[in-house]
Amino acid sequence: MSADVAVVGFAQSPVRVRDDATTSGVEMLVPIFAEVFRATGLNRRDIGFWCSGSSDYLAGRAFSFVSAVDAIGAVPPAMESHVEMDAAWALYEAWAKVLTGEAEIALAYGFGKSSGAELRRVLALQLDPYLVAPLWPDSVSVAALQARLGLEAGRWTEKDMAEVAARSRAAARSNPDAQVSGPVSGPVTAAELLARPYVAEPLRAHDCAPVGDGAAVVIIASAARARELCERPAWISGFAHQVDSGSLGARDLLAVPSAAGAAAASGGSGVRVDVAPIDVAELHAPFSHQELLLREALGLGEGVAVNPSGGALCGNPMFAAGLARIGLAARAVMSGRVSRALGHATSGPALQQNLVCVLSGEAS
């Protein structure tokens, strides 16, 4: 068993509505596979394990992920797996494969063409199939209920939410892969955003992640290979995920115990004093108020740079956005800009399931 595993490569496609991409994702995957292979000096035959994240519901057909294997190449045969959720969980499976010695190098990838369907309606299918899904409460409306609860409880204000969106858009101006960013003329202000109409009260358009298409890929390697593939690997010092009840009425929507639990299990909780502080956190928060919830659940203080990429509010390709958060956190470590970073992914309604990956510049 290998004790140390590191991220050695990351690439993502620009997030946008793409007319040239099918729901198989091949058109989005081929260029970023080539990009990450150029950066690491690897080729497809060097990959000991592949794992993808996508959704048949989003694609609209069964076993849709099989079509994506065209981007890998079906010959010679590869050891491959799939998760029906964000590819951050595919990376977790790949990490387990490397830890147990079944592969020295593994690649996780995710893709989603959200614009090919009515995303808000598709995501209603993840709700309780007996009592809730038949009512078709869309994902934005469910998030609006959560935001309203927080407002009524005094946990945040609409201005607080707008400030999250304004800061995210300003940060995204330096991210060429972002779908939405602030204007070139200068940063948008919270006051300007608050003057805009609601889409599902109390959420305005800037409070909600845009619908866009995209893909991401992360390569990890064992300690024996990582240093030869990357000058400064991003070592995975902690990796955990937990899940809360799928019933909206069975949990407190203003608490995120699965996020707090995953952070504690991975060593990523900002309230712990026995580990080095987190410098950067890439949080998968598809709604502005969810960043506020996650900051509190993870114990992230004011000194932590949150979503310097702009976050999911500026580009949220389904089934790739969570993996991209980990990849971007790893890139910050690999570049030498920070010593310790946190990547977060969420799945399910109202932050139901959460994953935390902590990355460091030094091996354990």
Q: pLDDT of 77-132, one tens digit each?
A: 788 999 999 999 999 999 999 999 999 999 999 999 999 888 998 999 899 999 89
Query: With 90 as the cut, is the pLDDT of residue 188 above it?
Result: no
Token output for 240: 């955990």
Coil, strand or helix at 74: coil
Q: Residue 290, SS3?
A: helix
Containing 188, the helix (H) or strand (E) segment is none
Percent of the chain with pLDDT over 90: 80
Q: Is 273 left (phi over 0), alpha (psi -120 to 50) or beta?
A: alpha
Per-residue model confidence as pLDDT tens digits over 230-259: 999 999 999 999 999 988 989 999 999 999
The more confident residue out of 313 and 64 is 313
Q: For strands 213-222 and 105-113, give the pairing.
A: antiparallel
Distance CA 36, CA 330 (A): 14
- What is the distance between the terminal CA atoms of the chain, rounded to a whole angstrom? 14
Per-residue pLDDT at 215: 97
The CA-based dihedral angle spanning residues 249, 251, 254, 255, taken in that order and rounded to the nearest 10 degrees:
-170
Angle between helix 288-298 and helix 257-266 axes, rounded to 10 deg? 50
Contact between 337 and 174 (Cβ < 8 Å) = no
* Residue 275, both tokens: 């580990």
Question: Tens digits of per-residue pLDDT, 39-56?
Answer: 999 999 999 999 999 998
State the chain's maximal CA–CA distance in angstroms.
58
Which residue spans within the chain are E strands per DSSP?
5-12, 49-53, 80-83, 105-113, 198-200, 203-204, 213-222, 234-243, 280-282, 305-306, 340-347, 353-360
- For 191-224, how does the pLDDT look when each residue is reduced to its tens digit (9 = 90+)? 999 999 999 999 999 999 999 999 999 999 999 9
Using DSSP bridges, classify how beta strands 353-360 and 234-243 pair: parallel, antiparallel or unpaired: antiparallel
pLDDT at 274: 43
C-alpha distance from residue 313 to each of 38, 95, 303 (Å): 30, 27, 21
Q: Give the CB-side neighbour count of residue 135, counting CA atoms within 13 A.
A: 9
Q: What angle do CA 48, 24, 236 make, to 5 degrees?
A: 40
pLDDT band, very low/low/confident/very high, at 63 (cuts 50, 70, 90): confident
Q: Say yes or no to pLDDT of 146 above 60.
A: yes
Does position 70 have pLDDT exceeding 90, yes or no?
Answer: no
Mean confidence (pLDDT) of the chain: 93
pLDDT of 1 > 60? The answer is no
Residue type, 194: L
- 288 close to 165: Cβ distance less than 8 angstroms: yes
What's the pLDDT at 273? 38
Q: What is the pTM for the complete model shown?
A: 0.95
Task: List the Cα angle 211/88/149 in 5-degree steps.
Answer: 60
